[in-house]
Amino acid sequence: MEFEAVMEVASRSFEAVGVAVLVMGGIWAFVRALGNWRRGGNVYVGIRRDFGRALLLGLEILVAADIIKTVSVATTLENVVILGVLVLVRTLLSFSLDVEIEGVAPWRRRQFEATPDVEPAPLRDPLD
């Protein structure tokens, strides 16, 4: 098997895993939301946090698939520019999702971890 064919299979495998993570994460978030609903917890906060985490992981895996595909299979200037734009958009999306989930910017997270009586994210589910 040629190198390009192996890398194409690897890229498609990463894409499939990324999509599976998104689907399974959505199902998991829904199941946990049902549990929160039964316990009288905040369903919206829980499902938003759990699905947001699945989105973050899925996006990172899909970025890896794009990198493999662009670097090893179709290395053209146009594809590299497209990869750069995709990585930039996905990075900004990941950053904004992370801030939404955690409720604090990554560079300020240590400040809140050092002071346990300060709650950085008002959206956290108290049942977790």
Nearest of 104, 101, 103, 14 to residue 59 by alpha carbon: 14
Q: Is 75 among the domain residues?
A: yes
Q: What is the pLDDT of residue 19?
A: 96
What percent of the chain is predicted at pLDDT more than 70?
85
Query: Which residue, 99, 102, 123, 109, is CA-closest to 43?
Result: 123
Residue 100 lies in a domain: yes
- pLDDT range class, residue 122, cuts 50, 70, 90: low
Q: What is the pLDDT of residues 25-64, one digit of tens each?
A: 999 999 999 998 899 888 888 888 889 889 989 988 998 8
User: Is residue 128 one of the residues assigned to a domain?
Assistant: no
pTM value is 0.71
Which residue intervals of the chain are DSSP H helices? 3-39, 43-68, 77-102, 109-114
**Residues with Cβ within 8 Å of residue 20, at least 6 apart in sequence:** none
- Asked whether residue 120 is domain-assigned, the answer is no
Decide if 109 is inside a domain: yes
Q: Look at residue 125 and tell me if it is in a domain.
A: no
Give the domain range for residue 57.
3-114
| pLDDT mean across residues, the chain | 82
Structurally, the chain folds into a number of domains equal to 1
With both helix axes pointing from N to C terminus, report the angle between 43-68 and 3-39 in degrees, rounded to the nearest 10.
Answer: 180
- Structural domain includes residue 126: no
State mean pLDDT over 14-35.
94
Mean pLDDT of 88-95: 84
The answer to whether residue 67 is domain-embedded is yes
89: phi then psi, degrees, rounded to nearest 5: -65, -45
Among candidates 16, 19, 52, which has minimal Cα distance to 33? 52
